[in-house]
Amino acid sequence: MQIVLSIDEIKKINQPIAVAIGNFDGVHLGHQALIKQCVDESKQKGWLASVLTFEPHPQRVIARGKETKLINTPEQKYRLIEALGVDYLILLKFNQELAETAPDDFIKKYLVGMMDIKKIFIGFNFFFGKKGRGTPSLLTSKGPDYGYETSVLPAIEIDNEIISSSLIREMYKSGDMKGVAKFLGYWPQLEGTVTKGDARGRTIGFRTANIELPDYLILPDFGVYAAVAEIRENETSLEAKSYPAVINIGLRPTFSVDKPIAEAHLLDFSGDVYHKNIRLNLYKKLREEKCFSSINELGQQIKKDVQLARDVIKEYKY
């Protein structure tokens, strides 16, 4: 997959192309179905398959001070999209100028004016242009004028609930990882480069790998989680080794930190992970965060957490 960052680069593609458009935060099962439609039809008709998305997320420009917290980092989103077989990922810079663009002008300038578009794939709830006035029906109606077709994916339901990023965010905040995974199609993930901590874990026999959490990400309910950790040399490395893990997400009330972090105790692992990439697949919340009266009490609780995490991971057939 080639990532395209500028309008000039987009214009150089100059081949028949289909494009799936959206924010795609989470790249959940609904997003996956839409993108797969684009990829499959493109293969049948000899077009390039592309995804057009916006960076940063439009809400981070439009709703200053009330920004939507995101499910994925940009790198996670790109990786998930690439796995669906897309040829081009087009990152359209979302700024105030784009936010003020009328829907008709958006179609002319950023779609048909840049690419030889044969078909556009969007979801039922895709809105575009100034104040979101552009609708799926408007995009469809302009197709005959510009020579493109439009496919609008209807809502997809699981257990009578419509899959949406907003629903997933709410489930994420409640700590329902199994529910989140049901709609994402993969286990929710936290990811980052392992940083130096205060080494307190070593003093009680439970070494931890710490990753800092970007402030734009939505975090699960603070607490202790059973997880599977994937360790890579760096974020682009394809090879990974996996280990069951106990993860504390939050403010570590026993030690009182002022910014949320993720601390992972890797089971059956004794190596060095500093400066390596770690991906934490969150399976189940085990308990709330708790302030312990002593290091010994904390150590005893971690032993219980470890056994419970092993049971959960075994149950989920890791």
Give the angle 99-146-104 at the CA atoms, nearest 5°.
25
CA–CA distance, 100 with 133 (Å, rounded to integer) = 11
Mean predicted confidence (pLDDT) in 266-280: 89
Question: Of 94-103, 229-238, 248-257, where does the model show the most confidence?
Answer: 94-103
CA–CA distance, 300 with 238 (Å, rounded to integer) = 37
Query: By C-alpha distance, which of 282, 95, 44, 280 is closest to 178?
Result: 282
Kindly report the number of other CB atoms within 10 A of residue 161's CB atom. 14
Q: Does residue 239 sit in the same domain as residue 149?
A: no
pLDDT given for residue 253 in this prediction: 61
Is residue 177 included in any domain, yes or no?
Answer: no
Q: Does residue 223 sit in the same domain as residue 154?
A: no
Is residue 181 included in any domain, yes or no?
Answer: no
Q: Band the pLDDT of 198: cuts 50, 70, 90.
A: low
pLDDT of 63-96, one tens digit each?
A: 776 778 999 999 999 999 999 999 999 999 999 9
Q: Band the pLDDT of 259: cuts 50, 70, 90.
A: confident
Q: Strand 277-287 relative to strand 48-55: parallel, antiparallel, unpaired? A: unpaired
Q: Does residue 229 sit in the same domain as residue 143?
A: no
pLDDT given for residue 176 in this prediction: 93
Is residue 172 included in any domain, yes or no?
Answer: no
pLDDT given for residue 118 in this prediction: 98
CA–CA distance, 50 with 38 (Å, rounded to integer) = 8
User: Is pLDDT larger for residue 317 or for residue 291?
Assistant: 291
Q: Does residue 194 sit in the same domain as residue 290?
A: yes
Q: Band the pLDDT of 236: cuts 50, 70, 90.
A: confident
Q: Band the pLDDT of 168: cuts 50, 70, 90.
A: very high
Q: Does residue 232 sit in the same domain as residue 274?
A: yes
CATH number for the domain harbouring residue 143: 3.40.50.620
Question: Of 187-191, 239-243, 249-253, where does the model show the most confidence?
Answer: 187-191
Count of domains observed in the chain: 2
pLDDT given for residue 8 in this prediction: 85
Q: Band the pLDDT of 256: cuts 50, 70, 90.
A: low
User: Is pLDDT larger for residue 239 or for residue 306?
Assistant: 306
Hey, is 229 helix, strand or coil?
strand
Interacting residues of 223 by C-beta distance below 8 A, sequence separation 6+: 175, 248, 249, 250, 285, 286, 287, 288, 289
Is residue 263 included in any domain, yes or no?
Answer: yes
Hey, what are 27's tokens? 């790249």
pLDDT of 20-45, one tens digit each?
A: 999 999 999 999 999 999 999 999 99
pLDDT given for residue 298 in this prediction: 82
Amino acid at 303: K
Q: Band the pLDDT of 294: cuts 50, 70, 90.
A: confident
Q: Band the pLDDT of 251: cuts 50, 70, 90.
A: confident
Q: Does residue 121 sit in the same domain as residue 50?
A: yes
Q: Does residue 146 sit in the same domain as residue 58?
A: yes
Q: Has this prediction a pTM greater than 0.85?
A: yes
Q: Does residue 152 sit in the same domain as residue 215?
A: no
pLDDT given for residue 199 in this prediction: 55
pLDDT given for residue 270 in this prediction: 82
Q: Band the pLDDT of 14: cuts 50, 70, 90.
A: confident
* Average pLDDT value for the chain: 90
Q: Does residue 147 sit in the same domain as residue 192?
A: no
Mean predicted confidence (pLDDT) in 142-167: 96
Is residue 164 included in any domain, yes or no?
Answer: no
Is residue 98 included in any domain, yes or no?
Answer: yes
CATH number for the domain harbouring residue 281: 2.40.30.30
User: Is pLDDT larger for residue 315 or for residue 318?
Assistant: 315
Q: Does residue 26 sit in the same domain as residue 107?
A: yes
pLDDT given for residue 295 in this prediction: 77
Q: Does residue 48 sit in the same domain as residue 193?
A: no
Is residue 170 included in any domain, yes or no?
Answer: no
Contact in structure between 261 and 296 (CB atoms under 8 Å): no
Range with the poorest average pLDDT among 12-16, 116-120, 295-299: 295-299
Instruction: Give the sign of the dihedral formed by CA 217, CA 218, CA 220, CA 223.
Output: positive
Residue numbers of the domain that contains 147: 2-158
Mean predicted confidence (pLDDT) in 207-232: 92
Kindly report the number of other CB atoms within 10 A of residue 299's CB atom. 15
pLDDT of 201-217, one tens digit each?
A: 555 567 889 998 999 99
Is residue 64 included in any domain, yes or no?
Answer: yes
Contact in structure between 21 and 52 (CB atoms under 8 Å): yes
Q: Does residue 231 sit in the same domain as residue 298?
A: yes
